[in-house]
Amino acid sequence: MRSLGGRTVDLLIIGGGIIGAGIARDAALRGLSVALVEQDDFASGTTSRPTRLIHGGLRYLELFDFALVRSDMREREILLRIAPHLVFPLPFLLPLYRPSLWYQAKLRIGMQLYDILSLDKSLPRRKWLGRGETLAAEPALDADGLQGAWRFYDAQVPLVERLVVENVVDAAAHGALVLNHARANSYLRDRDRVSGALVLDRMAGVELALRARLTVNATGPWLDRTIAPLRVGAKPLLRLTKGIHIVTPRATQQAHVLFARRDGRLFFVVPWLDATIVGTTDTDYDGDPADAAATEEDVRYLQEEARRAFPNAPFGEIFFTWAGVRALVREEGVSEGEVSRKHALYDHEARDRVAGVLSVVGGKITAYRAIAEEVTDLVARKLGRERRSGTPDPESRASSTADALLPGADGSRARDIAALAAGDPSLAAPLCPHHHGVAAEIVHAVRHEWALTIGDALLRRTALGLAPCQGLDCIDAVAALMGRLLDWDDERRAREVAAYCREVEPMRRFSAT
């Protein structure tokens, strides 16, 4: 599988986050020949560091971005339908404390609009809860001055990493060549046309010339770096802002939308797996996205605000943190929080006189399928190979169910894992005292999902690395198992363990254990 050199594909996608994975799947389903390269692991970038919500975003109503909210609501419905094993309805409370009349009216209108813009939804409508009902639903809330709360529904994708992996798995099942740990180092050029890329396979240590009729950059916050050779001296397309989350013991029964007292910013407290996520922050960032990490100031801000809302909840104990970098379409003269989350499609032929290459600027996880469809429509048009997307939009429910659903939705992964465990009882046992994940999941990840490092297996194929100990308590057992599958000798095993410890170190700087 790791030999791509010498072939010309219709489409090369650089970047294996949710956007690149979505494009790979859509294009492969339409019958295009596709290659996807990811410098690190699938979903290792911004995509594994979000609030994990599939939402229209109440905040965007304040910015009067109704079209964005409407289209995200439509996508929320689609994802609930095509990935019901990964995307779940999530009720939120939005509590109100001594609100002014103006503020009450504003929120009421916002809630009405949120319902109107998702008129075709399957989720329940908003409801006002009085003070007593609110406290019964969430006893941990600060009761002082509480008037009541709006309850409304959005959706959560607790394991967004798996959403990416399943897009990649399905793309590969439809013929795509996929390579993780493979960085596009430079473009291949035929005069004013990009004709692919030179890709360094970091595992094999070899460089491949990967020829393509069209190349798409889906490199998220790395975009200005990856397109620098195409637009020498030009202004950056992106504004980067960092957002962090803290993961704490389970602190609340419900998910909450709250407003920070310090600066009025909106933030979330959300039940996640067996824990709680608090986030996020929003500060300008100009380093390498791979180096983003939570600072003491970031953590203190979230802890203080969460404690104000839930005075007795356990926000003092932090399991781990994550920090992601938003890639926002650059707009001059606006503050971090006001920059639109709308994506843009950038055709370098029209703008930079370099043909054969497109770039995706910005975007949200919620919108990934629609963005992938838009990109692939343009790609197919440019290649003269127009065909409808097989990932469904609400109007095209006629698409075949097999194409519409993501692979895990029919239980095929669970069946494979169960069969592995049935064939070898040692694979049926949990690996870690703190997590129910079994050894067979790791075997499946290595054999069928390109897990090549311990981080790939623990953080982005299974949820073992998302338990409070992040798999460090069973690291030797994991390394031994992966070593057997991937032929690691003692020295390589020790290197892989050290690499995993380095990978999670930035997440554990504030951990109690």
Residue 276 binds ligand FAD (CB under 6 A): no
Relative to beta strand 146-156, strand 127-130 is antiparallel
Closer of 41 and 496 to ligand FAD (Cβ): 41
Apex 512 CA angle, 510 and 513, nearest 5: 115
CB of 185 to ligand FAD, least distance (A): 7
Q: Which of 9, 26, 35, 38 binds ligand FAD (CB under 6 A)?
A: 38
Stretch of residues binding ligand FAD (CB under 6 A), selected from 18-26, 297-305, 405-413, 427-435: 18-26
Q: How far apart are CA 510 and CA 294, in angstroms?
A: 9
Contact characters 217-256, ligand FAD, x per CB under 6 A: -xxxxx---x----------------x-------------
Residue 213 binds ligand FAD (CB under 6 A): no
CB of 18 to ligand FAD, least distance (A): 5
Residue 154 binds ligand FAD (CB under 6 A): no
Q: How far apart are CA 252 and CA 157, in angstroms?
A: 18
Apex 21 CA angle, 4 and 34, nearest 5: 35
Lookup: tokens for 171: 């793309």
**Angle formed by the axes of helices 160-173 and 18-29, nearest 10°:** 30
CB of 452 to ligand FAD, least distance (A): 14
Lookup: tokens for 326: 């938003």
What is the full DSSP assignment across 150-166? EEEEEEE-TTHHHHHHH
Contact characters 168-207, ligand FAD, x per CB under 6 A: ---------------xx-----------------------
Residue 50 binds ligand FAD (CB under 6 A): yes
Q: Which of 19, 34, 140, 176 binds ligand FAD (CB under 6 A)?
A: 19
Residue 44 binds ligand FAD (CB under 6 A): yes
Q: Are 216 and 346 in contact (CB under 8 A)?
A: no
Q: How many residues bind ligand FAD (CB under 6 A)?
A: 37
Task: Label each residue of 313-359 as H, E or C.
Answer: CCCCCCCEEEEEEEEEECCCCCCHHHCCCCCEEEEHHHHHCCECEEE
CB of 251 to ligand FAD, least distance (A): 18
Closer of 27 and 481 to ligand FAD (Cβ): 27
Nearest to 321 by CA among 513, 454, 510, 162: 510
CB of 160 to ligand FAD, least distance (A): 8
Q: Are 375 and 216 in contact (CB under 8 A)?
A: yes
Q: Which of 12, 13, 15, 95 binds ligand FAD (CB under 6 A)?
A: 15
Residue 270 binds ligand FAD (CB under 6 A): no
CB of 244 to ligand FAD, least distance (A): 7
Which residue type does 11 have?
A: L
Apex 289 CA angle, 286 and 295, nearest 5: 75
Task: Label each residue of 165-199 as H, E or C.
Answer: HHHHHHHHHCCCEEECCEEEEEEEEECCEEEEEEE
Relative to beta strand 127-130, strand 206-217 is unpaired
Residues of span 317-336 touching ligand FAD by CB under 6 A = 324-326
Closer of 325 and 358 to ligand FAD (Cβ): 325
CB of 323 to ligand FAD, least distance (A): 7
Closer of 222 and 510 to ligand FAD (Cβ): 222
Which residue type does 152 have?
A: F
Kindly state the helix (H) or strand (E) to which residue 380 belongs, with its residue range. helix 368-383
CB of 158 to ligand FAD, least distance (A): 11
Helix (H, G, I), strand (E, B) or coil at 234: coil
Stretch of residues binding ligand FAD (CB under 6 A), selected from 40-48, 228-236, 432-440, 464-472: 40-48
Closer of 37 and 168 to ligand FAD (Cβ): 37
Stretch of residues binding ligand FAD (CB under 6 A), selected from 146-154, 361-369, 391-399, 445-453: 361-369
Residue 158 binds ligand FAD (CB under 6 A): no
Task: Write the DSSP symbol of residue 385.
Answer: -
CB of 438 to ligand FAD, least distance (A): 28
Closer of 310 and 322 to ligand FAD (Cβ): 322
CB of 16 to ligand FAD, least distance (A): 5
Residue 8 φ/ψ, nearest 5 degrees: -110, 125
Lookup: tokens for 105: 């009216």
Q: Sort 233 into a burial class: Cβ within 10 Å, 0-12 / 13-18 / 19+.
A: exposed
Q: Are 356 and 194 in contact (CB under 8 A)?
A: yes
Which residues contact ligand FAD by CB under 6 A? 14-20, 37-40, 44-47, 49-53, 183-184, 218-222, 226, 243, 280, 324-326, 363-366
